[in-house]
Protein backbone atom coordinates (compact mmCIF):
# COMPACT_ATOMS: atom_id res chain seq x y z
CA UNK A 1 0.00 0.00 0.00
CA UNK A 2 1.33 3.40 -0.93
CA UNK A 3 0.72 6.56 1.07
CA UNK A 4 -1.34 9.19 -0.65
CA UNK A 5 -0.02 11.18 -3.53
CA UNK A 6 0.69 14.78 -2.52
CA UNK A 7 -1.29 16.28 -5.40
CA UNK A 8 -4.13 18.45 -4.11
CA UNK A 9 -7.65 17.27 -4.76
CA UNK A 10 -9.15 19.04 -7.75
CA UNK A 11 -12.28 20.91 -6.70
CA UNK A 12 -14.04 19.60 -9.78
CA UNK A 13 -13.16 15.95 -9.18
CA UNK A 14 -16.20 13.76 -9.81
CA UNK A 15 -17.45 11.97 -6.70
CA UNK A 16 -16.06 8.49 -6.07
CA UNK A 17 -19.59 7.23 -5.39
CA UNK A 18 -22.54 8.59 -7.35
CA UNK A 19 -25.96 7.25 -6.46
CA UNK A 20 -29.16 8.67 -7.90
CA UNK A 21 -32.77 7.55 -7.38
CA UNK A 22 -31.60 4.12 -6.35
CA UNK A 23 -34.21 1.59 -5.34
CA UNK A 24 -34.18 -2.04 -4.33
CA UNK A 25 -36.87 -4.52 -3.34
CA UNK A 26 -36.73 -8.11 -2.25
CA UNK A 27 -39.32 -10.66 -3.27
CA UNK A 28 -40.68 -13.11 -0.72
CA UNK A 29 -43.02 -15.44 -2.58
CA UNK A 30 -45.57 -13.19 -4.24
CA UNK A 31 -44.82 -10.36 -1.80
CA UNK A 32 -42.57 -7.49 -2.88
CA UNK A 33 -40.73 -5.87 0.00
CA UNK A 34 -39.35 -2.39 -0.79
CA UNK A 35 -36.00 -2.04 1.00
CA UNK A 36 -34.45 1.12 -0.48
CA UNK A 37 -36.47 3.93 -2.01
CA UNK A 38 -35.16 6.73 -4.21
CA UNK A 39 -31.76 7.06 -2.56
CA UNK A 40 -29.49 9.79 -3.93
CA UNK A 41 -26.06 10.67 -2.56
CA UNK A 42 -22.50 11.38 -3.63
CA UNK A 43 -19.31 10.53 -1.75
CA UNK A 44 -15.97 12.11 -2.61
CA UNK A 45 -12.74 10.16 -2.54
CA UNK A 46 -11.17 10.46 0.93
CA UNK A 47 -14.45 10.87 2.83
CA UNK A 48 -15.24 8.99 6.04
CA UNK A 49 -19.00 8.42 6.16
CA UNK A 50 -21.05 6.73 8.87
CA UNK A 51 -24.33 5.08 7.90
CA UNK A 52 -26.84 4.60 10.72
CA UNK A 53 -30.46 3.60 11.10
CA UNK A 54 -32.69 1.11 12.89
CA UNK A 55 -32.35 -2.61 12.26
CA UNK A 56 -33.92 -3.46 8.91
CA UNK A 57 -33.69 0.10 7.57
CA UNK A 58 -31.56 -0.99 4.60
CA UNK A 59 -28.01 -0.06 5.68
CA UNK A 60 -26.40 -3.34 4.67
CA UNK A 61 -28.38 -3.38 1.44
CA UNK A 62 -27.19 0.13 0.51
CA UNK A 63 -23.58 -0.65 1.46
CA UNK A 64 -23.67 -3.87 -0.57
CA UNK A 65 -25.03 -2.04 -3.61
CA UNK A 66 -22.29 0.60 -3.46
CA UNK A 67 -19.67 -2.12 -2.93
CA UNK A 68 -20.90 -4.15 -5.90
CA UNK A 69 -22.11 -7.14 -3.86
CA UNK A 70 -25.72 -6.69 -4.87
CA UNK A 71 -27.65 -5.01 -7.68
CA UNK A 72 -30.27 -2.26 -7.60
CA UNK A 73 -33.67 -2.58 -9.28
CA UNK A 74 -33.55 0.98 -10.59
CA UNK A 75 -31.47 4.12 -10.42
CA UNK A 76 -27.91 5.18 -11.13
CA UNK A 77 -24.89 3.69 -9.40
CA UNK A 78 -21.41 4.76 -10.42
CA UNK A 79 -18.28 4.12 -8.40
CA UNK A 80 -14.90 5.43 -9.55
CA UNK A 81 -16.58 6.43 -12.81
CA UNK A 82 -17.76 2.86 -13.51
CA UNK A 83 -21.47 2.25 -14.01
CA UNK A 84 -21.90 -0.85 -11.84
CA UNK A 85 -25.36 -1.55 -13.25
CA UNK A 86 -23.88 -2.42 -16.64
CA UNK A 87 -21.31 -4.96 -15.42
CA UNK A 88 -21.87 -8.70 -15.77
CA UNK A 89 -21.34 -11.01 -12.77
CA UNK A 90 -17.70 -11.81 -13.57
CA UNK A 91 -16.89 -8.17 -14.34
CA UNK A 92 -18.53 -7.06 -11.11
CA UNK A 93 -16.56 -9.64 -9.11
CA UNK A 94 -13.31 -8.48 -10.72
CA UNK A 95 -14.22 -4.85 -10.08
CA UNK A 96 -14.91 -5.61 -6.39
CA UNK A 97 -11.66 -7.51 -5.99
CA UNK A 98 -9.72 -4.51 -7.31
CA UNK A 99 -11.56 -1.64 -5.70
CA UNK A 100 -13.29 -2.60 -2.46
CA UNK A 101 -12.08 -3.92 0.88
CA UNK A 102 -14.81 -5.50 3.02
CA UNK A 103 -14.92 -5.64 6.81
CA UNK A 104 -17.78 -7.55 8.47
CA UNK A 105 -19.14 -7.80 12.00
CA UNK A 106 -18.08 -11.42 12.44
CA UNK A 107 -14.72 -11.07 10.66
CA UNK A 108 -15.38 -13.91 8.18
CA UNK A 109 -11.89 -15.32 8.48
CA UNK A 110 -11.21 -18.86 7.29
CA UNK A 111 -10.58 -20.90 10.46
CA UNK A 112 -8.17 -23.41 8.90
CA UNK A 113 -5.90 -20.69 7.52
CA UNK A 114 -3.40 -18.68 9.57
CA UNK A 115 -3.65 -14.90 9.88
CA UNK A 116 -0.99 -14.62 7.16
CA UNK A 117 -2.86 -16.99 4.83
CA UNK A 118 -6.19 -15.25 5.42
CA UNK A 119 -4.67 -11.89 4.50
CA UNK A 120 -2.90 -13.40 1.48
CA UNK A 121 -6.13 -14.86 0.03
CA UNK A 122 -7.27 -11.84 -2.04
CA UNK A 123 -3.79 -11.63 -3.57
CA UNK A 124 -4.03 -15.17 -4.96
CA UNK A 125 -6.33 -13.67 -7.60
CA UNK A 126 -3.64 -11.23 -8.72
CA UNK A 127 -0.52 -11.77 -10.85
CA UNK A 128 1.78 -10.97 -7.90
CA UNK A 129 4.64 -13.42 -7.25
CA UNK A 130 4.83 -15.39 -4.02
CA UNK A 131 7.56 -13.05 -2.75
CA UNK A 132 5.57 -9.93 -3.63
CA UNK A 133 2.52 -11.39 -1.91
CA UNK A 134 4.55 -12.05 1.22
CA UNK A 135 5.84 -8.47 1.23
CA UNK A 136 2.32 -7.03 0.89
CA UNK A 137 0.92 -9.30 3.61
CA UNK A 138 3.76 -8.48 6.02
CA UNK A 139 3.26 -4.77 5.40
CA UNK A 140 -0.46 -4.77 6.22
CA UNK A 141 -0.07 -7.11 9.21
CA UNK A 142 2.50 -4.66 10.56
CA UNK A 143 0.12 -1.78 9.92
CA UNK A 144 -2.60 -3.45 12.03
CA UNK A 145 -0.05 -4.32 14.73
CA UNK A 146 -0.15 -8.10 14.28
CA UNK A 147 3.24 -9.00 12.81
CA UNK A 148 3.83 -11.27 15.79
CA UNK A 149 0.58 -13.17 15.26
CA UNK A 150 0.92 -13.98 11.57
CA UNK A 151 1.16 -17.75 12.12
CA UNK A 152 -1.76 -17.89 14.53
CA UNK A 153 -5.11 -19.33 13.47
CA UNK A 154 -8.26 -17.21 14.00
CA UNK A 155 -9.28 -19.44 16.94
CA UNK A 156 -6.02 -18.47 18.67
CA UNK A 157 -6.77 -14.74 18.41
CA UNK A 158 -9.05 -12.43 20.38
CA UNK A 159 -12.07 -10.88 18.66
CA UNK A 160 -10.27 -7.55 18.31
CA UNK A 161 -7.22 -9.25 16.83
CA UNK A 162 -9.40 -11.23 14.41
CA UNK A 163 -11.02 -8.02 13.25
CA UNK A 164 -7.59 -6.47 12.74
CA UNK A 165 -6.62 -9.48 10.59
CA UNK A 166 -9.83 -8.88 8.62
CA UNK A 167 -8.86 -5.22 8.20
CA UNK A 168 -5.44 -6.30 6.94
CA UNK A 169 -7.18 -8.62 4.46
CA UNK A 170 -9.42 -5.75 3.33
CA UNK A 171 -6.39 -3.54 2.80
CA UNK A 172 -3.93 -5.87 1.16
CA UNK A 173 -5.14 -5.19 -2.39
CA UNK A 174 -4.90 -1.42 -1.73
CA UNK A 175 -8.59 -0.74 -2.49
CA UNK A 176 -9.99 2.76 -2.91
CA UNK A 177 -13.12 2.07 -0.88
CA UNK A 178 -13.45 0.34 2.49
CA UNK A 179 -16.96 -1.02 3.15
CA UNK A 180 -17.31 -1.80 6.85
CA UNK A 181 -20.58 -3.34 8.09
CA UNK A 182 -20.80 -3.05 11.89
CA UNK A 183 -17.10 -3.84 12.30
CA UNK A 184 -17.22 -3.17 16.04
CA UNK A 185 -20.60 -4.82 16.67
CA UNK A 186 -19.12 -7.87 18.34
CA UNK A 187 -16.27 -6.19 20.22
CA UNK A 188 -15.80 -4.75 23.70
CA UNK A 189 -15.24 -1.00 23.95
CA UNK A 190 -11.44 -1.18 24.09
CA UNK A 191 -11.15 -3.50 21.06
CA UNK A 192 -13.78 -1.46 19.22
CA UNK A 193 -11.76 1.69 19.82
CA UNK A 194 -8.62 0.01 18.45
CA UNK A 195 -10.50 -0.95 15.30
CA UNK A 196 -11.90 2.59 14.97
CA UNK A 197 -8.43 4.09 15.51
CA UNK A 198 -7.23 1.92 12.64
CA UNK A 199 -10.04 3.04 10.36
CA UNK A 200 -9.15 6.65 11.22
CA UNK A 201 -5.56 5.99 10.20
CA UNK A 202 -6.56 4.33 6.95
CA UNK A 203 -8.63 7.37 6.13
CA UNK A 204 -6.25 10.01 7.48
CA UNK A 205 -2.87 8.58 6.48
CA UNK A 206 -3.76 6.59 3.38
CA UNK A 207 -6.76 8.48 2.03
CA UNK A 208 -9.04 5.44 1.97
CA UNK A 209 -12.67 6.33 1.48
CA UNK A 210 -14.62 4.65 4.28
CA UNK A 211 -18.30 3.84 4.56
CA UNK A 212 -18.98 2.61 8.09
CA UNK A 213 -22.35 1.03 8.91
CA UNK A 214 -22.84 1.14 12.65
CA UNK A 215 -25.33 1.14 15.52
CA UNK A 216 -22.68 2.56 17.84
CA UNK A 217 -22.91 6.35 18.32
CA UNK A 218 -19.29 6.46 19.43
CA UNK A 219 -18.19 4.78 16.19
CA UNK A 220 -20.36 7.11 14.14
CA UNK A 221 -18.91 10.14 15.93
CA UNK A 222 -15.54 9.37 14.30
CA UNK A 223 -16.90 10.02 10.81
CA UNK A 224 -16.98 13.47 9.25
CA UNK A 225 -20.34 12.79 7.66
CA UNK A 226 -23.42 11.01 8.94
CA UNK A 227 -26.12 9.48 6.77
CA UNK A 228 -29.26 8.04 8.34
CA UNK A 229 -31.79 5.68 6.82
CA UNK A 230 -35.24 4.94 8.13
CA UNK A 231 -37.36 2.29 6.39
CA UNK A 232 -35.26 2.48 3.25
CA UNK A 233 -35.43 6.26 2.95
CA UNK A 234 -32.47 8.58 3.41
CA UNK A 235 -33.58 11.04 6.07
CA UNK A 236 -30.35 12.71 7.19
CA UNK A 237 -27.13 13.50 5.35
CA UNK A 238 -24.98 15.98 7.25
CA UNK A 239 -21.40 16.95 8.04
CA UNK A 240 -20.11 16.22 11.54
CA UNK A 241 -17.76 19.11 12.26
CA UNK A 242 -16.84 17.63 15.65
CA UNK A 243 -15.81 14.26 14.19
CA UNK A 244 -13.05 12.69 16.22
CA UNK A 245 -11.17 11.39 13.17
CA UNK A 246 -8.95 14.12 11.82
CA UNK A 247 -9.27 15.36 8.26
CA UNK A 248 -6.55 13.75 6.12
CA UNK A 249 -3.36 15.83 6.26
CA UNK A 250 -2.84 15.41 2.54
CA UNK A 251 -5.83 15.36 0.25
CA UNK A 252 -6.31 12.46 -2.08
CA UNK A 253 -5.62 12.74 -5.76
CA UNK A 254 -8.69 12.97 -8.00
CA UNK A 255 -9.85 9.69 -9.52
CA UNK A 256 -8.28 9.03 -12.94
N1 LIG B 1 -31.79 -11.42 0.69
C2 LIG B 1 -32.89 -10.89 1.21
N3 LIG B 1 -34.12 -11.38 0.91
C4 LIG B 1 -35.24 -10.83 1.40
N5 LIG B 1 -35.26 -9.75 2.21
C6 LIG B 1 -34.08 -9.22 2.56
C7 LIG B 1 -32.84 -9.75 2.09
N8 LIG B 1 -31.84 -9.00 2.59
C9 LIG B 1 -32.42 -8.07 3.35
N10 LIG B 1 -33.77 -8.19 3.33
C11 LIG B 1 -34.72 -7.31 4.03
O12 LIG B 1 -34.40 -5.98 3.69
C13 LIG B 1 -34.56 -5.12 4.80
C14 LIG B 1 -33.27 -4.34 5.03
O15 LIG B 1 -32.26 -5.24 5.39
P16 LIG B 1 -30.76 -4.78 5.72
O17 LIG B 1 -30.00 -6.00 6.00
O18 LIG B 1 -30.27 -3.89 4.64
O19 LIG B 1 -31.01 -3.92 7.05
P20 LIG B 1 -29.97 -3.26 8.04
O21 LIG B 1 -30.32 -1.82 8.14
O22 LIG B 1 -28.58 -3.59 7.62
O23 LIG B 1 -30.33 -3.97 9.42
P24 LIG B 1 -29.38 -4.45 10.64
O25 LIG B 1 -29.06 -3.20 11.41
O26 LIG B 1 -30.25 -5.38 11.42
O27 LIG B 1 -28.18 -5.11 10.05
C28 LIG B 1 -34.97 -6.00 5.96
O29 LIG B 1 -36.36 -5.89 6.11
C30 LIG B 1 -34.58 -7.38 5.52
O31 LIG B 1 -35.44 -8.34 6.09
MG1 LIG C 1 -27.09 -4.76 8.43
Three-class SS of residue 103? strand
Do 221 and 49 touch, CB atoms closer than 8 A? no
The rounded distance, in Å, linking the Cα atoms of 84 and 101 is 16
Query: How confident is the model at residue 256, as a pLDDT?
Result: 44
Q: Evaluate whether residue 116 is within a structural domain.
A: yes
Query: How confident is the model at residue 5, as a pLDDT?
Result: 46
**Structural domain span for residue 168:** 45-59+97-239
The rounded distance, in Å, linking the Cα atoms of 89 and 29 is 24
- Say what the pTM is: 0.92
For residue 129, the domain's CATH number is: 3.40.50.300
Query: How confident is the model at residue 11, as a pLDDT?
Result: 55
DSSP string covering 16-73: SEEEEEEEEEEEETTEEEEEEEEEEEEE-TT-EEEEE-STTSSHHHHHHHHTTSS--S
Low-confidence ranges of the chain (pLDDT < 70): 1-12, 249-256
Q: Evaluate whether residue 89 is within a structural domain.
A: no
Q: Evaluate whether residue 5 is within a structural domain.
A: no
Do 245 and 239 touch, CB atoms closer than 8 A? no
Query: How confident is the model at residue 205, as a pLDDT?
Result: 93
Q: Evaluate whether residue 83 is within a structural domain.
A: no
The ligand 1 atom nearest the CA atom of 215:
25
Q: Evaluate whether residue 49 is within a structural domain.
A: yes
Radius of gyration for the alpha carbons in the chain, expressed in angstroms and rounded: 18
Domain count for the chain? 1
Q: Evaluate whether residue 19 is within a structural domain.
A: no
Residue nearest to atom 9 of ligand 1 (CA): 61
Query: How confident is the model at residue 26, as a pLDDT?
Result: 94
55-94 per-position pLDDT tens digit: 999 999 999 999 999 999 999 999 999 999 999 999 999 9
214 lines ligand 1 (CB under 6 A): no
Q: In terms of Cα–Cα distance, which of 140, 65, 152 is closest to 100? A: 65
Query: How confident is the model at residue 250, as a pLDDT?
Result: 55
Query: How confident is the model at residue 13, as a pLDDT?
Result: 82
Ligand 1 pocket check: which of 22, 27, 51, 61 to mutate, most ligand atoms within 8 Å of Cβ? Answer: 61
Residue nearest to atom 3 of ligand 1 (CA): 26
Phi-psi region of 145 (alpha: psi -120 to 50; beta: other; left: phi over 0): left
Q: Evaluate whether residue 232 is within a structural domain.
A: yes
Ligand 1 center–CA 61 separation, angstroms? 6
Q: Evaluate whether residue 37 is within a structural domain.
A: no
56 lines ligand 1 (CB under 6 A): yes
Residues with CB under 5 A from ligand 2 (ion): 60
Query: How confident is the model at residue 4, as a pLDDT?
Result: 52
57 lines ligand 1 (CB under 6 A): yes
Amino acid sequence: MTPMSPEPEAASAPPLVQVAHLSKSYRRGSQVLPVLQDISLAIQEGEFVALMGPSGSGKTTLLNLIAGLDRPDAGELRVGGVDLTTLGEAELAAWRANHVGFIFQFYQLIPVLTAFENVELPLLLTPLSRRERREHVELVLELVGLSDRSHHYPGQLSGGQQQRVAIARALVTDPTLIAADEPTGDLDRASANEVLDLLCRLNGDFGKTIILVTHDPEAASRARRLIKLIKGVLITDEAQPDATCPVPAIRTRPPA
